[in-house]
Amino acid sequence: MAAKDSPLKQFEIVPFSKTELGGYDISFTNSSLSMIITVAVITLFLTLTVKPRSLVPSRMQLVSELMYNFIANLLSDTVGDNGKKYFPFVFSLFMFVLIGNMVGMVPYQFTFTSHIIVTFALAAIVFIGTTILGFANHGIKFFSFFYIPGVPFYMHPLLIPIEVISYLSRPISLSVRLFANMLAGHTLLKVFAGFVVAMPFFTGVFPLVFIVALTGLEILIAFLQAYVFAILTCLYINDAYHLH
Amino acid sequence: MPQLNPEFFVTQLFWLVVTFSFLLVFLWRISLPRIGNVLEKRERKISEDLTTAKELQNEAEKIQETIESQLKQARTGASEMIKTSSLALHDKAQIELTKLDKELDAKIEQSSATIEKSKNESVSQIQNQINEITKLTLSKVAAFDVSDDEIKSAVKSSERSIN
């Protein structure tokens, strides 16, 4: 199989034009394009469907309201009343990841959530934000987050480093989870697509059927990963308010 | 793996920041308040409708109560009316009856008086006839006249002895 047919070729970034700002390369690429498509889809959908603002919603308005309520309930269930302030952020994050994943499911579209740098940046925003929030709420007492009450004292030298490491690995696990899921799913689809072409006669139908089934699974994963990203963000916000 | 190529890290981060901050501000300032308003408006409308419905129900219950109390009142009124009118009728009947009794008594007395009178009359007639018969008999048998007074006293004395 030639290098240009590699299943990983879909993740290559193609700049449309060369642009620099202060010595940094900020070229408009296929990744940027799919981010803009994602944002356009979200904003247009949420604006146009709710335009009539009818008391008895149309189907599409109902979809927007359901998404609103979904995240609002998620936030109030995990964080409580404190969570209302972060609703726009969590909602934006959820929609950005969800629609980014979904846009990536469209053939020939680039999936920006399959790039570790993008998911890590999103996770870093969450991590840094919740850490600042924790210190703002509790001051220096926020360090007691690493101290588990009710544990024998001689266990603390072992447990505190573990807690610190698990806290610091939050952005990594959060970003790698999304990135790896997207990477694996899309690679798998491309591998089976390669089989369709490579297999002789009509036997290529079998991998094709498999691709159809996998596409359904990928759509589920696209939703699931966005949900996981949102709910973990909510949990981290909750941790910044309640120390154990 | 293209993901690990740092050549495009900066541009990806740049466009991520641009698009995501636009999305965040847009949703925060425009979309979410709109949806929130619609939801709030709906909730308010529903709760208002519910309170109106409850008020109407209360009103209906009140009306029902008035109807029932009025019915009850009407029923008691009717039974009272029946009672009083039956009592009044009874009294009236009693009065009529006593009146009738009196009338009847008076009539009985009157008729008994009449009977007594006619009896006395017939008794005195009988007496006269007895006297006359006696006078006749004496005149025919003994051929002597006796005065009426003598005969009367004689009859009376014989009556007395008989009696």
What is the pLDDT, as a whole number, of residue A75?
93
pLDDT tens-place string over residues A126-142:
999 999 999 999 988 88
Using an 8 Å CB-CB cutoff, list chain A residues near B26: 39, 43
Q: Do B16 and A69 touch (CB under 8 A)?
A: no
Total tally of structural domains belonging to chain A: 1
User: Is there a domain that residue A80 lies in?
Assistant: yes
User: Is there a domain that residue A6 lies in?
Assistant: no
> Could you give the CA distance from residue A37 to residue A113 in angstroms, rounded to a whole number?
13
Considering only CB atoms, B32 lies closest to which of A21, A57, A91, namely: A91
What is the pLDDT, as a whole number, of residue A4?
55
pLDDT tens-place string over residues A183-223:
999 999 999 988 888 888 788 888 999 999 999 999 999 99
User: Is there a domain that residue A17 lies in?
Assistant: no
Mean pLDDT of chain B: 90
> Could you give the CA distance from residue A224 to residue A213 in angstroms, rounded to a whole number?
17
Over 70: is that where the pLDDT of A2 sits?
Answer: no
Q: Cβ(A57)–Cβ(A65) under 8 Å?
A: yes
User: Is there a domain that residue A18 lies in?
Assistant: no
Q: Do A46 and B36 touch (CB under 8 A)?
A: no
- Which of A7-16, B28-37, B46-55 shows the lowest per-residue confidence on average (mean pLDDT)? A7-16
pLDDT tens-place string over residues B92-137:
999 999 999 999 999 999 999 999 999 999 988 988 888 888 888 8
User: Is there a domain that residue A183 lies in?
Assistant: yes
Using an 8 Å CB-CB cutoff, list chain A residues near B48: none
Q: Give mean pLDDT, residues B21-43.
A: 93
Closest CA–CA distance from residue A115 to any residue of chain B (Å): 5
Over 90: is that where the pLDDT of B4 sits?
Answer: no
> Could you give the CA distance from residue A104 to residue A111 in angstroms, rounded to a whole number?
4
Q: Return the residue matching tokens 């610091």.
A: A168
**What is the separation, in whole angstroms, between the first and last Cα of chain B?**
169
- At B49, the pLDDT band (50, 70, 90 cuts) reads very high
Q: Do B27 and A117 touch (CB under 8 A)?
A: no
What is the pLDDT, as a whole number, of residue A1?
41
- At A108, the pLDDT band (50, 70, 90 cuts) reads confident
**Whole-number percent of chain A with pLDDT over 70:** 98
Q: Do A117 and B20 touch (CB under 8 A)?
A: no
Using an 8 Å CB-CB cutoff, list chain A residues near B11: 13, 15, 24-29, 31-32
- Which of A3-12, B51-60, B65-74 shows the lowest per-residue confidence on average (mean pLDDT)? A3-12
User: Is there a domain that residue A12 lies in?
Assistant: no
Predicted TM-score (pTM) of the model is: 0.75
Using an 8 Å CB-CB cutoff, list chain B residues near A38: 19
Q: Domain containing A89: what range?
A: 29-48+57-241
Greater pLDDT, A114 or B7:
A114
Structure tokens at A200: 């002789």
What is the pLDDT, as a whole number, of residue B163?
64
Q: Where are the domains of chain B?
A: 7-122
Report chain B residues touching chain A, CB-CB < 8 A.
1-5, 7-17, 19-20, 22-24, 26-28, 30-32, 34-39, 41-42, 45
Give Rg (Cα) of chain B.
63
What is the pLDDT, as a whole number, of residue A209?
92
Q: Give mean pLDDT, residues B81-94.
A: 94
DSSP letter assigned to residue B30:
I
Greater pLDDT, A26 or A119:
A119
